Amino acid sequence: MNRHRLLLPALAAVMLVACQRPPAGSDMPAKPANTATAAAPAASAAAPAPTTMKPATAFTPPPESAIPEGPFGDMVREGRELFVHTAQKAPAYVGNGLACANCHLDAGRQPNSAPLWGAYGMYPAYRSKNKHVNSFGERLQGCFQFSMNGKAPPLDSREMLALEAYAYWMATGAPIGVKLDGAGYPKQGFKPPQPPDYARGETVFQRDCALCHGSDGLGQKVAGRYVFPPLWGPDSFNWGAGMHELDNAAAFIKANMPLSRGNTLSDQDAWDVAMYMDAHERPQDPRFKGDLAQTRKDFHDTPMSLYGTTVNGHLLGSRPARRQGSR
C-alpha cells in the first residue's frame, strides 16, 4: 500500500502495456501449448502522409503557470481538470475507468503520447475512420465514444468547450497545418523484427507491466479510483478505440512505457506486449450491429486489428467485456 501511495503523483500519467495470465472466470481462455503469432504488419497498413503536409517542426507548449487569469483562463483550467479526471468531471459521457490523460500523458503535454498541442492545429481533417472531414470537436467526441467507452458530449456542451479551450491554449504559437515533432505516437516506419507473439508478450508483461497494471491487467485502485488504468476488461477502452490496433499500442508502449522509462523496451518487446494486451476482450465496438464478421469487414479490415480474429482458440469480440449489471 505504501508503495502505491508513493506512485500517486503519477496518477494522471499512466496507460498501456499488456497483461499476465487471464484470471479464472475471465473472458480469455487459458493459453494452449501453441500460442498465437500475429501476421507481420504490412507496409501498406499505415496511411501515407498527405503530400501537402509540411516537415515536422519543433514546438514547446506554454507552461501551465502561463494560463491567464480571467474567464478564458478559468475555462482552460476547467478543461485541464476534465482531461485529467474525466470520469469525475464528465460522468455522463464516460463508460469506463479511464481518463484522457491515460493515453495522452502529463495532462496532454508529453511528446510522443499524442499531445493536445500536436493535434489541435491539424483539424479540420478528413478521417478514414468515419469517412468525412472532422472538426477538432468531432475528434474529441470520438475519444469519448471509443477510448472512454461512453457517449459523445454535444459540440456546444460546456465539457467540449472546456476541452477545446485547453487544447487551443496549449497550442499557443504553434503553426497551423504543420506536423509537430512529438505529435501523435511515433509509429512511422516502426516495424517489429519478428511478427508479434502472444507468449513473448505475456513474458514482457509479467516482467515490466504487472506491477502497475495488476497481475490480471485490470488496473489498480486507491480509494475507489484507478491510479493505474485497466488494459482490458469492462473498465478499459472498447474495440473501436485506436489503442486496440497493434501499431498504435506498440508505438505508445515503446515511447512511454514502463512509466517514466520510455524507450527502454526493445522494439520486439513493445510489439509483443501490444499483441498480448490487444488479444484480450474489452467492451464491444459501439458500431457493432450483431454481425461480428461484418463489423470487422466494415471497420477493422487491417492486420493491425485483432477484432474478429481467433487468438488462442478465442474469437475476439465474440464475448465482449461488460460492467456488472450492464446489458
**231-278 per-position pLDDT tens digit:** 999 999 999 999 999 999 999 999 999 999 999 999 999 999 999 999
Span 94-104, mean pLDDT?
A: 97
The grid cell for 164 is 477545446
Question: Domain check: are 137 and 223 in the same one?
Answer: no
Selected residue with higher pLDDT from 1 and 93? 93
Residue 320 falls inside a structural domain? no
Last residue of a domain, one of 132, 160, 180: 180
> By C-alpha distance, which of 277, 218, 233, 296 is closest to 38?
277
pLDDT tens-digit series, residues 163-180: 999 999 999 999 999 999
Residues facing residue 151 across a β-bridge = none
CA distances from 12 to 35, 56, 189 (A): 34, 27, 29
- 306 plus 214 within the same structural domain: yes
The residue among 180, 213, 239 that closes a domain is 180
200 lies in the same domain as 129: no
**Same domain for 41 and 74?**
no
Percent residues over pLDDT 90 in the chain: 80
Check: CB of residue 269 under 8 Å from CB of residue 18.
no
Do both 285 and 211 map to the same domain?
yes
pLDDT of residue 327 exceeding 90, the answer is: no
Residue 20's pLDDT is what? 35
- Kindly report, residue by residue over 124-164, the tens digit of the pLDDT: 999 999 999 999 999 999 999 999 999 999 999 999 999 99
Report strand pairing: 310-311 vs 314-315: antiparallel
**Residues 308 and 254 placed together within one structural domain of the fold:** yes
For residues 11 and 59, membership in a common domain is answered with: no
Residue 260 lies in a domain: yes
Q: Among 123, 156, 180, where does a domain finish?
A: 180
Q: What is the mean predicted confidence (pLDDT) over 201-215?
A: 97
- Indicate whether 155 and 68 sit together in one domain: yes
Task: Establish if 326 belongs to a structural domain.
Answer: no
99-104: average pLDDT: 97
pLDDT confidence band for 77 (50 / 70 / 90) = very high
SS3 state of residue 180? strand
Residue 51 has what pLDDT?
Answer: 40
Beta-strand relationship, 220-222 and 178-180: unpaired
- Is pLDDT at 321 greater than 50 in this prediction? yes
Residue 39: per-residue pLDDT: 59
Confidence of residue 45 (pLDDT cuts 50, 70, 90): very low
Residue with cell 520510455: 262
pLDDT in tens, 3-19: 443 333 333 333 333 33
Distance separating alpha carbons of residues 262 and 294, to the nearest angstrom? 37
107 and 195 within one domain:
no
Read off the pTM: 0.84
> Does residue 323 sit within a domain?
no
Alpha carbon distance 250, 189 (integer Å)? 12
How many structural domains compose the chain?
Answer: 2
In which band, very low, low, confident or very high, does the pLDDT at 49 lie, cut at 50, 70 and 90? very low
Reduce the secondary structure of 75-124 to three states and give it as a string: HHHHHHHHHHCHHHHCHHHCCCCCCHHHCCHHHHCCCCCCCHHHHHHHCC
Question: Domain range holding 80?
Answer: 54-180
